[in-house]
Structure 1
């Protein structure tokens, strides 16, 4: 609502509210704040490479009633105009920007990257419509087509390329699978040979260590046997020496006993001679009596 009267400047603007109007003194005018849906069509616009295409976009626009500056601008631009007239002005502005952007892009860029195209139209149109007090709520690319089957041919070429890439990819996958299988087999054989070599090395090390251990054991055993034999020999020698000493002692004892016995007999004989009869002198004078006494 825009309320104006004689002597009041600027007019009072009320967005979505109520106001008391004095008839014949005050004047009330209305401007729509509804969201307008626009079907933006651009037919047979030449792209950057000279291919004519038709593009349809859907835009949502509205006068920004919450922004006083934009609302004032919109009132100046569209006061007294109907909702359809306002929508048509916004539509022509959007369609012009849509055509300009189409002319700067290729068919492939528009068709394959719709989001980028929509963002460009939204950005350029918003900066222009804001000067009219209109804000672009959204813009979406709805349809792209041509009358020369360019997109169809592009799709067929793309399909063929995709099929070609698929065949190439399948062939490469099979090739890679064969290569991977060969590598796996090679690694398996290498691992097997490596394992066998490691086992052979381990067996060799075991045999060498076992041989060294056997040599050491046999050496220790021989040394132990020799030490035992030496000890036995020493023991036997010591026993023999002790036996000899015993024999020497026994012999010495025997000699001592014999000497004592001889001494005793001599003493007995002397006693007998001193006390015996007359023939004792004859006995002592006999030559063989000396030999008898030596016994």
Structure 2
């Protein structure tokens, strides 16, 4: 009887100890927040002073771990991973009112630095899913794309795509920072127009290149012929001078021979 009682007491005590251990584990788990390197933890519930001197009701941790106060503080998450975007505008007017179709690709992400820009992301993007953030970034960049197109000629857009991309990056930077985003990569993939303006420009420049090549070829042929004529003239002059010199020497030789014959005849007499 006593043995059974002791056994039951032991089981109860073991259960209590196990429950206490589980309670400690759960408590520690709720206290410690582990943050992956590609995610920012937004811990809300207590106010603090930010770098710009303002007061915010949250603190952030990017990678690593931190402690939180259960019940008082709540943890939210923001992904810092790259968001790929495909951008496309059709019949957007360029400088000179030529409508262009432009396709581009871009990579954006939530800006982790400086703090003031990241705070914009916390205030504007927290609670939004990746599709909502992607749509917001695409809408912003598309608007900037139309704005930059209006400032550039079709030739500038099509022929200097790196310069066009830089103009777009500079134009979008301010608007993206307001959202707490930053632009990592931007590439212009395709530029076209429905009215055939770019094709006409290309054909014109091809014709100009062919014309310049024909002119250069004709100039080269003319120069070659001129040099050949000059060479023939020089050769003819040299031959004439050579013949004159030969005749002069022959005449001098005949004169010397005649003088010698005359002297010989006078000596015989």
Same fold per superposition (TM over 0.5): yes
1:171-186, aligned counterparts within 5 Å?
A: 171-185=218-232
Aligned to 1:110: 157
Residue 119 of structure 1 aligns to a residue in which SS? helix
Distance 1:71 1:83 in 2: 16
Aligned to 1:231: none
- The structure that is strand-richer by fraction is 2
Q: 2:87–2:138: 8 Å Cα contact kept in structure 1?
A: yes
Aligned to 2:252: none
Unaligned runs of 5+ in 1: 205-295
Indicate the structure whose relative CO is greater, using CA pairs within 8 Å and at least 6 residues apart. 2
Distance 2:235 2:80 in 1: 77
Distance 1:46 1:26 in 2: 51
Aligned to 2:192: 145
Residue 104 of structure 1 aligns to a residue in which SS? coil
Aligned to 2:255: none
Could you state the TM-score of these two structures normalised by the residue count of structure 2? 0.64
The answer to whether residue 129 in structure 2 is matched with residue 89 in structure 1 is no
Aligned to 1:130: 177
1:5 aligns with one of 14, 38, 45? 45
Could you state the TM-score of these two structures normalised by the residue count of structure 1? 0.59
Distance 1:112 1:85 in 2: 34
Distance 1:55 1:84 in 2: 23
The answer to whether residue 209 in structure 2 is matched with residue 162 in structure 1 is yes
Residue 41 of structure 1 aligns to a residue in which SS? strand
- The structure that is helix-richer by fraction is 1
**Could you say if the C-alpha distance between residues 50 and 187 of structure 1 is closer, same or farther in structure 2, counting changes exceeding 3 Å?**
farther
1:190-229, aligned counterparts within 5 Å?
A: 192=238
Offset from partner CA, 1:183-222 (integer Å, 9 cap, x none): 45556667x58x96xxx7xxx9xxxxxxxxxxxxxxxxxx
**Could you say if the C-alpha distance between residues 164 and 5 of structure 1 is closer, same or farther in structure 2, counting changes exceeding 3 Å?**
same
The answer to whether residue 93 in structure 2 is matched with residue 53 in structure 1 is no
Distance 1:30 1:187 in 2: 90
Residue 166 of structure 1 aligns to a residue in which SS? helix
Task: Give the count of matched residue pairs.
Answer: 201
**Could you say if the C-alpha distance between residues 80 and 166 of structure 1 is closer, same or farther in structure 2, counting changes exceeding 3 Å?**
same
After TM superposition, give the deviation of residue 136 of structure 1 in Å: 1.4
Distance 2:159 2:214 in 1: 23
What RMSD over aligned residues (CA atoms) do the two structures have, in Å? 3.0
Q: 1:48–1:105: 8 Å Cα contact kept in structure 2?
A: yes
**Larger-gyration structure (1/2):** 1
Offset from partner CA, 1:56-95 (integer Å, 9 cap, x none): 1112222221432221222122111122222222221211
Q: 2:47–2:57: 8 Å Cα contact kept in structure 1?
A: no
Residue 148 of structure 1 aligns to a residue in which SS? coil
The answer to whether residue 113 in structure 2 is matched with residue 73 in structure 1 is no
Offset from partner CA, 1:27-59 (integer Å, 9 cap, x none): 111112111222121111122222211001112
After TM superposition, give the deviation of residue 121 of structure 1 in Å: 0.7
